Chain A
């Protein structure tokens, strides 16, 4: 595993002696072959299948390995490209690997579990950001790689403080009550009774293994168990106490298997080096992290509703939750209230902060701004208010934040969800919403599609934007006849007219391609159109000119229509050309 670091630390490896070719409009296979990481990144973000095959039955990773593009290969692997031993594709990639570095990279990813989901990744980061946990993690760094978890846009170094510390064999493990409660009935009960107000818990039993408990708590956060085989028996015992029955069952089975494996291996392998890695997927669904947090969320929502009733007459920002009231309903361990459109939601700081940098900043800045001024009574929860958001959208959003999943999205809600996802820096949510929205788009009118194009461009939802542009390019004349489309043209910035973008000629070395992701809508449309119309390569320039002329014409028509319209008073719109 430490090989991995060796490969990546060396920045020079990423620079090839020749400038890399840019394939601004190539597919995932072309981008991998050319090593055009900008394009590849764009494609992966727009949701292409990394493990798809082209007409030669090859996967993108194969091309990247063949051409020796280390960074492209890594990007593919991090996005979940499969390269496992003794499979056709895996072996093919291995044999094709241009150099040793690529080989090492493949090897490293073979043994490495696939990246965590956004929820698991975010919580794991929060867990590891706790000082004590980080220290232990860094000690065992050699064995445990940090899985590529760029989905959260790189969390800021400021950690979210833990609310409980365990001392095992004198060493601390920091944790958050709500996570433990969600995952284990044992902790749930303890936190309600014995440990209710305690900030730290010391285990004096000699038998309790630090490593095992650490692994378990790490599992609670990340849904991934990573433990030395030697510690597994300790862990089984802990599982029994914590009532993590399904995990216990899996471990017991594995232990028997390990014992058998030991005989086979003639005991020449040092067991302390051997590790056992378990993915949340191997457990029944109800025992996985999203489900556990879902339960917590449900309780909190129920409590929020009852609270709503209790405080109905209190017309103020403050939500008073006395300890008496808590005893009436099931304890949800909520430690913050979010008020949206006059409704109050009981939430958990650690989850909000882990999932959204906005909330992390917000919660840690409570004291500095207006929100912290109305000091609440000691036994009440802090309350934050969010404006410009409907209750429904917020509900969906916290559902996503707690469970990584989204059920029954209403297309009408999608726009607001995009807004919320952008605003609260929940970028993965956009993709989930986009996936939900896509089937719906197949049935909408051209006019509505124009609307979605503008929205997706605004919120940076690449998948939807691509879909809309494809649809428009393929049915250009239909759209040209639509008034809404013409009107939209006026609102968009003019095409760049840059001929470099118009052709597939290799761009000049070092040409700035960074803007691909946020490219000009009309430029992209023109390119899609050229592809769709299948213009011959040497006629592309002419075809592009034709297209530009057509656009200009359409815009003139739109201008005409606008000035004709009497009610139209949108004079502030920018003038074109």
Chain B
């Protein structure tokens, strides 16, 4: 009865020998087990791949996959246990080498085993959700070797010791190290992290805590930073050589924390070598290093910035309040610029052009420049100086650079309108005396001011330039019209200044000499003839004159003098001696100006076309003046300058100040009205805030002044106080 059945199931005889032979599975497994042993013992060349694969295949095919798999697990486990014993018994130094060697062998064997059992790997294992052979081999290695009680600790200690030795300067076998670490990584990231990375980071932290303690005691800041940087580089290099790249941030973090963060305050504030010292001595390299290292920790840069800011403020404060340094305004501004340049350079070279640092620098400058109320004046004087003479022979680019620097200082000013005032005065002097070196430079500065503060700010300055231009045209017209008649007399150049654009003072006109007066009248008639409805008044305090004079030995000179001086000298055409009183009477020049003129005519050596009795420095009311026959000069042209007040004198300063304050009043009022017009109702504090904001680009209005302006506006019925809330203002009209 079973005969037909047998026939049915034995179409292919060789397939079913398996079923017939009850010991088949056992026998086949023995062959494979033997093979696995042989592979581990490097005797694989005696094995037939084809036969082994076929055996494994048949076992799985006939549902002995489970047996094969469990057999594999137990065989490998047993083998690895052997290996573990062998590794345990190796002598100290050879431990890692042996481990590495055996790991490589295990890997190779594992691949061979996997290939032999490929059929199981492809079919049986996925369908039964078991671990694939290769992964199984790694897991077994991990459990039996790496996690065996004796090896685990030893491996860890050995690795850490090697790193420690390398840190102290010894040369270690990095290749070996890399292989062993790679092994840990191959076994899974958790193995690497748990068994190596974690203790490694702990040890590193300890190491660097101690080392940094040592360094900080005996090194100065620069050296310490050098050492810290070197260590950091070493660790990064270490990671690239034999650690997992993912460890890099963790490891650097440890170093940063121990070496930088915990000591940074001490480092930055270190006396004689800390941040301040580096800045003072321009140690760009050290500063750069400090920046780069402290950047790595969260509050590092803020610390540097704070220290730097307070240092700059300190220096700046000394600079602007030192009375010695205030004597020469040009030098004062030059110092400021130098200081700025120095710190700019530090920021760009060492601090990576960090925006926050630039801001800190700017705010510090703003802080201390405004400590000195005369800064606007000085800056204007500096410009004046540059534009008068400083820019001669300098290329256009350099001019631009200097002007840009000035603009930068200008930006720091809070009282920009004060600067405007002074600038206008200085500009007027330059223009009228024809002292400007370069029209382009002048205009360029005005354009800069315009972009900085708006059209309004510069409209008057531009008006001054326009006046100069139209005056030129007018003069041409004048000469064309009446030039022929005047060929004999003195030639006249008139600049017609628009009232308001120029910083004119109401001046009592002096008595011009008759020769001049005639020409002047001709001009007046000419001008008023072409422009109706205008009024001309002579600003005699601002003009200049060229005089031809003949001295004792027939020496001829051309004297370049101011209008006042011209008036005085013309008097000596008639008599050789005049007393102070006589001069004053004849010219009606204001006393202070007259004294200044006489001083420059009589007391300056080399330019003393007048002689004074008695000889003294100062002009007294009862002095007498003589024509100086013996005057001589190497030059044909002699320029006799007035003793100009470079800096304003105290009363002048007060006056300017007052004028500035006066000018501010309408501006503040305008701002208040603008704000109230749109807001209708606003309380006091908000008005002050808004006004301050609106006027910020020009000056910082004083709250008290604002309050006064508000009151004035209330008086003039632009505003009224709210009836219930006294702090509230309403806009009327």
Known: A362-B50, A368-B44. A568 touches B15 (CB 8 A): no
B2/A450 in contact, CB under 8 A: no
A206 at the interface (CB under 8 A from B): no
Contact with A along B27-64 (1 / 0, CB 8 A): 00000000000000000111111110110010001100
Instruction: Confirm or deny: B327 has a beta carbon within 8 angstroms of a beta carbon on chain A.
Output: no
Once the chains bind, are A415 and B2 in contact (CB under 8 Å)?
A: no
Chain A 545-577: CB-based contact to B (< 8 A → 1; otherwise 0)? 000000000000000011011011010100000
One of A41-49, A220-228, A346-354, A512-520 contacting the partner:
A512-520
In the assembled complex, the Cα of A460 lies from the Cα of B122 at a distance in Å of 13
Which chain B residues in 1-39 approach chain A with CB under 8 Å? Answer: 1-5, 8-9, 11-12, 14-15, 19-20, 22
Are A370 and B54 neighbours in the complex by a CB distance under 8 Å? no
Question: Are B57 and A370 touching (Cβ within 8 A)?
Answer: no
- Interface flags for A376-404 (1: CB within 8 Å of B; 0: not) read 00000000111110000000000000000
Q: Is the CB of B127 within 8 A of A448?
A: no
Are A365 and B1 neighbours in the complex by a CB distance under 8 Å? no
Q: Is the CB of B127 within 8 A of A515?
A: yes
A20 within 8 A of B: no
Find the B residue at minimum CB distance from A517: B127
The interface bits of chain A over 505-528 (1 if a CB of B lies within 8 angstroms of the residue's CB, else 0) are 000000000110110000000000
User: A386-B50, A425-B122 are contacts. A419–B15 as well, Cβ < 8 Å?
Assistant: yes
A451–B11 contact, CB under 8 A?
Answer: yes
Q: Does A371 contact B (CB under 8 A)?
A: yes
Chain B, range 125-146, C-beta contacts under 8 Å to A: 127, 129
Q: Which residues on the B side are within 8 Å of A487 (C-beta)?
A: 2, 5
Question: Across the interface, do B50 and A562 meet the contact criterion of CB distance under 8 Å?
Answer: no
Nearest chain B residue, comparing its CB with the CB of A153: B122
Residue of chain B at shortest CB distance from A573: B19
Query: Does any Cβ of B come within 8 Å of A78's Cβ?
Result: no
A402-424 to B contact mask, C-beta < 8 Å, 1/0: 00000000001001100100110
Tell me whether chain A's interface is mostly helix, strand or loop, or mixed: helix
Q: How many angstroms between the C-alpha atoms of A26 and B45 in the bound complex?
A: 52
Give the complex CA separation of A138 and B193 in angstroms.
32
A residues in contact with B3, CB < 8 Å: 565, 567
Among B112-120, B182-190, B442-450, the one that faces the other chain is B112-120
Complex contacts, B12 vs chain A, CB 8 Å: 415-416, 419
CA distance A448 to B53 in the complex (A): 30
Pick from B1, B19, B54 the residue with the most CB of A within 10 Å: B1
What DSSP secondary structure best describes chain B's contact surface?
helix
Q: Is the CB of B61 within 8 A of A483?
A: no
Residues of A with C-beta under 8 A to B119: 358, 422-423, 425
A372 contacts chain B at the CB level, 8 A cutoff: yes
Decide yes or no whether A447 CB sits under 8 A from chain B.
yes
Residue from A369, A384, A385, A518 with most neighbouring chain B CB atoms (10 Å): A369
Task: Provide the B209-251 mask, 1 if CB < 8 A to any CB of A, else 0.
Answer: 0000000000000000000000000000000000000000000
B8 to chain A, nearest CB (A): 5
In contact, A451 and B2 (Cβ under 8 angstroms): no
**What distance in Å separates the Cβ of B112 from its nearest Cβ neighbour in chain A?**
6
| A-side contacts of B129, CB under 8 Å | 514
- Whether B118 contacts A425 by the Cβ 8 Å rule is yes
Complex partner residue of A357 from B5, B19, B49, B122, CB under 8 angstroms: B122
Give the Cβ gap from A571 to chain B, nearest Cβ, in Å. Answer: 8
Q: Is residue A361 within 8 Å, beta carbon to beta carbon, of the partner chain?
A: yes
Decide: A518 and B45 in contact? CB cutoff 8 A. no
Per-residue B-contact encoding for A223-252, CB less than 8 Å = 1, 0 else: 000000000000000000000000000000
Q: Return the chain B residue nearest A422 by Cβ.
A: B61
B299 CB-CB contact with A under 8 Å: no
Q: Does B8 contact A460, Cβ atoms closer than 8 Å?
A: no
Report the minimal beta-carbon distance from A524 to chain B, rounded to whole angstroms: 15
Contact B122 A565 (CB under 8 A): no
Determine which of A365, A412, A423 lies in contact with B57 in the assembled complex, contact meaning CB atoms within 8 Å: A423
- Bound CA span A365–B52, Å: 13
Give the distance to chain B from A346, nearest Cβ to Cβ, in Å.
Answer: 18
Any B CB within 8 A of the CB of A484: yes
A422-B119, A567-B3 known; A370 vs B47 contact (CB < 8 Å): yes
Q: Is A458 an interface residue (CB 8 A)?
A: yes
Q: Can you name the residue of chain B whose Cβ is closest to the Cβ of A425? A: B122
Tell yes or no: B123 within 8 A of A by CB.
yes
In the bound assembly, the distance between CA atoms of A412 and B53 in angstroms comes to 25
Would you call A199 an interface residue if the criterion is a C-beta within 8 Å of the partner chain's C-beta atoms?
no
State whether the Cβ of A205 lies closer than 8 Å to any Cβ in chain B: no
B9: chain A residues at CB < 8 Å are: 451, 454
Q: Which residues of A contact B46 (CB under 8 A)?
A: 370, 373
Inside 8 A of A460's CB, which chain B residues have their CB?
Answer: 123
Q: Is B50 a contact partner of A371 (Cβ separation < 8 A)? A: yes
Question: Complex Cα distance A241/B428, Å?
Answer: 88
Query: Within the assembled complex, what's the spacing in Å between the Cα atoms of A450 and B94?
Result: 63
With A425-B118, A515-B127 as contacts: A369 and B44 at CB distance below 8 Å: yes
Contacts of B54 in A (CB 8 A): 387-388, 423
Q: Which residue of B lies closest to A567 (CB)?
A: B2
Residues of B within 8 A of A415 (CB): 11-12, 15
Q: Tell me which residues across on chain A come within 8 A of B118, comparing CB atoms.
A: 357-358, 361, 425
What are the 7 closest A-B residue pairs judged by CB atoms, nearest first?
A361-B115, A565-B1, A369-B49, A565-B2, A568-B2, A572-B22, A370-B48
Q: B-side interface residues toward A, CB under 8 Å? A: 1-5, 8-9, 11-12, 14-15, 19-20, 22, 44-51, 53-54, 57, 61-62, 112, 115, 118-119, 122-123, 127, 129
- In addition to A361-B115, A368-B44, A568-B1, 9 A-B residue pairs with Cβ atoms within 8 Å of each other are A357-B122, A368-B49, A369-B45, A388-B14, A388-B54, A415-B11, A419-B61, A425-B122, A484-B5
5 contacts between A and B (CB under 8 A): A371-B49, A372-B45, A484-B4, A567-B2, A570-B20
